[in-house]
Amino acid sequence: MDLNFENKAKSELDRITLKEEKIELATIYDDLKGSIGNANKGFVEATKLVSKAQKEVKKSISDNKTLLKELDKAEKLIKDIGIDSELKKVQKAQNQVKENISALDSYLTNLITL
């Protein structure tokens, strides 16, 4: 048997096998293109949502701080007038607003690290 012929045949077979593998790899990549697109779309959407959430949390913090200032003014007036029943209501509201601000600050910190 001609060794040169065997080597050429083996070489040709190797080329055919490599071409089939290249085609198979190209097909796999084509199949994954849709998944890559969906993953990127999900990333972009998540980024938008996190950004929107950050804006909303910052606005809520600002609103709560403004409310707390108003409650502080109300507390001072109520103390000056001496209406104990109303003072307790205002102080309860102040505590709730302070808790809200604290929770929102924590949310904002967590959103920023995302």
Residue 70 — very low, low, confident or very high, per pLDDT cuts 50/70/90?
Answer: very high
Q: Which residue has 């849709």 as its token pair?
A: 34
This prediction has a pTM of 0.67
Three-point CA angle 93, 99, 102, nearest 5°? 145
Could you state, in order of their start, the residue ranges of all structural domains in the chain?
Answer: 3-113
Q: How far apart are CA 95 and CA 67, in angstroms?
A: 12
Contacts of 97 (CB under 8 A, 6+ apart): 64, 67, 68, 71
Residue 95 — very low, low, confident or very high, per pLDDT cuts 50/70/90?
Answer: very high
